[in-house]
Amino acid sequence: MGAPMARRLLGAGFKVTVWNRDVSKAESLHSAGAAVAPTPREAVLDADVVFTMLSDGKAVEDVLFTSGCADVLRPGTAVIDTSSIAPPIAKDHAARLSMRGIQHLDAPVSGGVVGAQAGTLAIMAGGDAAVVERLSAVFAALGRVTHVGPSGAGQICKLANQQIVAITIGAVAEAMVLVEAGGASREKFREAIRGGFAESRILDLHGGRMIARDFKPGGPSKLQLKDLDAVASMAEQYSLELPLTERVRSEFSEFVAGGGGDQDHSALLLHLEQLNGQKA
């Protein structure tokens, strides 16, 4: 996700410096005009806006604080964390950066690599609305931004998004299993219901992957499970019962434990097929 987002910013005329733990991923952006920094600390020197797009809260913590980035950021700099992390962690980061005079937005995104490449990401921004407005031109290069509330609100909305994604993937996968058992064509089934009430981007993209059996990860199942675990943690904190989310979380947990963590989350189909004695 980070690479196509950086390319969009470069294409919009912004000066961009990049860093990645995998140097080759950062170097691949050099030809597009990005400067490549050897450390995160050096990447943020003199920056007006800093983006993070990382795997989890610990990785964001390491980059922002353990690596020393926060120590060299200038007061007034805006840190935009587009990673998907737990809301309490986002709030903690915002508070710690605020003490240094640094602005923080938790702004996770939805739309996947395709959306990042096209500049059509849905961006859910938590934090100061004035900062979101001030950075509107920056966000415009990436997609559509919506200010959803104070610090942590962006992450709550992303978790809610991931609930919908996971449950819908589960519903489409179960429908594929039912269609197979009943002797109908999965491909023709998907074609038949397009445009009806069951139409969705999940049916379009992930349903297509299920039919093609192309499970190269856009969104790895292990990260989908990470988000569902975060939803469960927040549900416990708020004393909520979310039975659909808990059920699909259980299915993803079993799939990941069985070795499916690095496959796309649409590959939940494979787990359901195994449960029902269908295709290997």
> Is the predicted pLDDT of residue 114 greater than 90, yes or no?
no
Q: Cα torsion for 63, 120, 24, 41, to the nearest 10°?
A: -20
> Is the predicted pLDDT of residue 31 greater than 80, yes or no?
yes
Instruction: Please give the C-alpha separations between residue 198 and each of 93, 130, 161, 191, in angstroms, as whole numbers.
Output: 39, 38, 17, 11
Residue 47 is classified by DSSP as -
Q: In the predicted model, what is the mean pLDDT of residues 265-273?
A: 97
> Is the predicted pLDDT of residue 279 greater than 80, yes or no?
no
Q: What percent of the chain has pLDDT over 90?
A: 94
* Model confidence band, residue 259 (pLDDT cutoffs 50, 70, 90): very high
Q: Which residue pairs, CB below 8 angstroms and at least 24 apart, start in 142-145? A: 142/5, 142/8, 142/9, 142/109, 142/116, 143/109, 143/111, 143/115, 143/119, 144/120, 145/107
**Which residues are tagged catalytic?**
158
For 201-229, how does the pLDDT look when each residue is reduced to its tens digit (9 = 90+)? Answer: 999 999 999 999 999 998 899 999 998 99
- Residue 280 has a pLDDT of 59
> Is the predicted pLDDT of residue 91 greater than 90, yes or no?
yes
* Mean of pLDDT over the chain: 96
> Is the predicted pLDDT of residue 165 greater than 90, yes or no?
yes
